[in-house]
Amino acid sequence: MREYLKFYIDGQWVDPVELKTLDVENPATEQVVGKIALGSAADVDKAVKAARKAFETWSQTSREERLDVLQRILAEYQKRFGDLTAAVTEEMGAPASLAQRAQVPSGMGHLATAANILKDFKFEEDRGETLIVKEPIGVCSFITPWNWPLNQIACKVAPAIATGCTMVLKPSEVAPFSGQIFAEIMHAAGVPAGVFNLVHGDGLGVGVPLSTHPDVDMVSFTGSTRAGIEVAKNAAPTVKRVHQELGGKSPNIVLDDDAFSKSVARGVMHVMTNSGQSCNAPTRMLVPSKRMDEAMAVAKATADNVTVGDPNGNFNMGPVVSKTQWEKIQGLIQKGVDEGATLVTGGTGRPEGLEKGHYVKPTVFGNVTSEMTIAKEEIFGPVLSILGYESLEQAIRIGNDTEYGLAGYVNGADLAKARDVARQIRAGQVSINGASDMTAPFGGYKQSGNGREWGDFAFHEFLETKAIMGYAPKAAE
């Protein structure tokens, strides 16, 4: 039983102003496996004051000093790799194999990437008599989700450290264990007091104060579009910068060529990874209408081979994170049936043989139309909708017919055609044939958010631009 009843503020583990606790459940067993303290506005104020004080000196550190700190954080992170893996599996149900090969390494990747970029990043630029300077924005508040907890913590913290910002983190109260260990890593790495602070809590108790606090210069939020809108509203009166990475309903356009079966299978497995709990999952697969039956057959065979069970066992897929999520997913699966989509495999209820835990059947719907609920709403579970198209022009129109624009996918043997389609998808990141790149900017169009994370684009989110005119006046003639 884990008990995390202190917050990390100003380089120390401190008691909350008023102790209130929350039980943390293991979604695979539905048993309480830990307890955290719930913070309040008073705790947030203490953390922000510590961050504001630390900013005075941290913002003036050299590139070399910040690089040294990042490298120390990375070294401590590597030491705690096993602890982080166990925490992610316990708190949100990711299979141990996924935690080891993706969940935990993703955080490591962002730290290493930020260190590499910092070595050569240009913070100053001469433009004739004027000097353009990029300066750290100030105190940042980070509100991170439960689905890829370390990825989302590290992709905010790493560039903030690199650019000279200070910060207060609120990890998800649903999956707080990995965030706690991350704070222990920061302490062990000798990050100067006040540069990094952590306050556990829920949205109302900690998220709102972090969004409204007048001494916070930027709030970076990852989560649902609904919650992101509230964060923006809360931040508006103080005119702070707001960065949001929100929901998605990403299209996956499968081309009509010899790679068809491989493309369909790849798309199915991508959706099932992490139990479908990824904002950029390719949950709308678009296939030529004439090949719908073939697509459904391949999708069924692929999904039926996805094993579901104990995340500490040898299974492809664990549970979804909570009863609330499980019930939402069940309702949307039933909606798909009720609205006339073809249930190819899966459906409502737990997979056979699993009587406890928030497990969902790998589910595929075929003959889905754009008007159906399952084609419009973000399900955030292992549920794939397959839609038909008559032409690539129609496929692109259907793909873009969404309020979201986080990601898009194109799969096929004809690279020239795939490139052409990718250019027309209205999304912040488009992957051709499963390609990925941790240095590529990540973020959305439309209601999928604003701003970018990952790589050098992330640095700019944490910087203000100053023009110093007359810095290098012309020599007298």
279 is catalytic: yes
245 is catalytic: yes
Q: Which are the contacts of 262, defined by CB distance < 8 A and separation ≥ 6?
A: 411
Cα–chain-centroid distance for residue 176?
15
Helices (H), ranges, 121-174: 149-163
Query: Of 140, 155, 165, 279, which one is the catalytic site residue?
Result: 279
419 by DSSP, 3-state: which?
helix
What is the biggest distance separating any 2 CA atoms in the chain, rounded to whole angstroms?
88
| Ordered strands of the 196-198 beta sheet | 12-14, 7-9, 196-198, 166-170, 139-143, 218-222, 241-245, 449-450
Please check whether residue 4 is in contact with residue 200, taking contact to mean a CB–CB distance below 8 angstroms.
Answer: yes
Q: Helix %, strand %, coil % for the chain, to 5?
A: 45, 20, 35
Q: Which of 90, 91, 173, 245 is catalytic?
A: 245
How far is Cα 458 from Cα 452, in angstroms, rounded to an integer? 6
Q: What angle do CA 96, 101, 103 make, to 5 degrees?
A: 75
Q: Which residues pair with 442 in a beta bridge?
A: 453
CA distances from 424 to 396, 404, 409, 475 (A): 7, 15, 11, 50
Alpha-carbon gap, residue 45 to 51, rounded angstroms: 10
Answer yes or no: are the C-beta atoms of 466 and 127 closer than 8 Å.
Answer: no
Token code pair at residue 467:
């023009």
The two beta strands, 124-127 and 241-245, are unpaired
Strand 241-245 relative to strand 218-222, pairing: parallel
Residue 434: CB partners within 8 Å, gap ≥ 6? Answer: 266, 270, 411
Coil, strand or helix at 15? coil
CA distance 31 to 312: 15
- Residues that are catalytic: 245, 279
